[in-house]
């Protein structure tokens, strides 16, 4: 079952993956005769739900895999963790997503079949970008090295994160690097018939062309991505690339390209916006209430956020146009109010209480 599902995944054939996985689960799901097969099926069904943007069903599938670490293929286990991290990030549970990324970093040092440390750090960089910490993602990209041999038959693909980090920097040099890597990946994935990955490559090439003002080329590349993605019903793959994809899809739809399918993607973007708005409102309300209860001032919150980003006292002073002595005083007051001593301890206490997301 697993081998044929890997083939269907590379071909971006979500309906066939769903059929095979569902048949296996129906046959063995209520017994212990083939737990390995059940867990592999749950993993692949989780991917189907994820790519179709049904995150709750995907979460259930991946959690089942995590319940049986000894009975599942190592790579299936760790890529289920990676998928869950992205799901929790999308659901507004940033702390849980970071915790899973850190778990992968630890596992990469322990497992005989490694999810390499560089892959784990790539996932962390992916989460950093989605959380708006572009500087951290840029620092990771400066150190990342594309593997000489690229085999990406499982879920998470670090080279694609690398390209996104380069595009986020939006400099002539970063765009040049992104273009070079995209061309290389395009050749590899075309030769290996990796349709699923080519959807992302064409989409990223469209975003690169758009950033360079090459609108016609951007639309052409996005049209290729849509043509490959439509038969499988891929939705999440576009949402994960961010809002910059949306105007290209709107223009394609106006031009008559796959209007019904693109409507589904655009509707998913709207749902994503509404979910993020709801999460932000809830978080702001919760943090505001807690901030008032603890007596943390607006200025202290500004300093707390800079401490979270590991700013030094001097950098905080320069950013907020205050003296270093005033910074020291605010940090001391924060320590008293949060019952913590030391910069890291203060940040950890604020995070665990919910003052920081």
Percent of the chain with pLDDT over 70: 92
- For 110, the token pair is 């322990």
At 152 the pLDDT is: 75
Q: Residue 308: CB partners within 8 Å, gap ≥ 6?
A: 347, 350, 351, 356
Q: Going by CATH, does the domain composed of 295-353 fall within 1.10.10.10?
A: yes
- For the residues 92-109, what does the mean pLDDT come to? 82
Distance CA 341, CA 114 (A): 37
Element spanning 208, H or E: helix 195-211
Question: Does the pLDDT at position 176 exceed 90?
Answer: yes
Q: What is the pLDDT of residues 36-80, one digit of tens each?
A: 888 999 999 999 999 999 999 999 999 999 998 888 888 888 899
Q: How confident is the model at residue 284 (pLDDT cuts 50, 70, 90)?
A: low
> Could you tell me the pTM of the whole model?
0.77
- The structure tokens listed for 314 are 């001097």
Among candidate residues 330, 288, 286, the one with its CA nearest the CA of residue 311: 330
Contacts of range 281-288, beta carbons closer than 8 Å, 24 or more positions apart: 282/92, 283/92, 283/357, 286/354, 287/354, 287/355, 287/357
244 pLDDT more than 80: yes
For residue 116, what pLDDT band results from cuts at 50, 70 and 90?
Answer: low
**Whole-angstrom Cα distance, residue 91 to residue 55?**
8
In this predicted structure, what is the pLDDT of residue 282? 61
For 286-320, the pLDDT digits (tens) are: 666 777 778 888 888 889 989 988 888 888 988 88
């Amino acid at each position: 079952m697993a081998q044929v599902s890997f083939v269907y995944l590379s071909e971006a054939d979500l309906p066939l993956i769903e059929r095979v996985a569902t048949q296996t689960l129906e046959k063995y799901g209520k017994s212990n005769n083939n737990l390995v097969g059940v867990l592999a099926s749950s993993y692949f069904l989780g991917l189907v739900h994820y790519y179709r943007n049904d995150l709750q069903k995907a979460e259930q599938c991946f959690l089942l895999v995590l319940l049986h670490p000894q009975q599942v293929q190592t790579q299936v286990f760790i890529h289920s963790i990676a998928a869950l991290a992205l799901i929790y990030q999308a659901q507004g549970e940033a702390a849980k997503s970071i915790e899973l990324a850190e778990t992968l970093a630890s596992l990469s040092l322990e497992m005989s079949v490694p999810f390499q440390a560089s892959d784990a750090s790539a996932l962390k960089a992916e989460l950093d970008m989605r959380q708006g910490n572009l500087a951290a993602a840029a620092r990771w990209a400066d150190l990342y090295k594309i593997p000489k041999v690229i085999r990406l038959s499982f879920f998470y693909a670090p080279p694609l994160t690398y390209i996104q980090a380069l595009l986020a920097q939006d400099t002539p040099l970063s765009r040049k690097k992104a273009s070079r890597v995209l061309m290389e990946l395009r050749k590899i994935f075309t030769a290996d018939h990796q349709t699923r990955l080519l959807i992302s490559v064409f989409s990223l090439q469209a975003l690169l062309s758009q950033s360079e003002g090459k609108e016609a080329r951007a639309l052409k590349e996005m049209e290729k991505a849509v043509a490959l993605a439509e038969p499988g019903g891929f939705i999440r793959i576009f949402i994960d690339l961010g809002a910059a994809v949306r105007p290209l899809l709107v223009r394609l739809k106006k031009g008559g390209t796959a209007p019904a399918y693109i409507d589904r993607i655009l509707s998913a973007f709207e749902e994503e916006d509404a979910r993020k708005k709801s999460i932000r409102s809830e978080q702001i309300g919760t943090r505001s209430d807690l901030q008032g209860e603890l007596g943390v001032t607006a200025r202290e919150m500004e300093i707390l956020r800079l401490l979270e980003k590991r700013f030094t006292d001097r950098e905080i002073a320069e950013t907020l146009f205050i003296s270093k002595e005033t910074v020291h005083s605010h940090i001391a007051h924060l320590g008293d109010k949060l019952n913590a001593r030391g910069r890291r301890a203060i940040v950890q206490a604020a995070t665990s209480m919910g003052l920081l997301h």
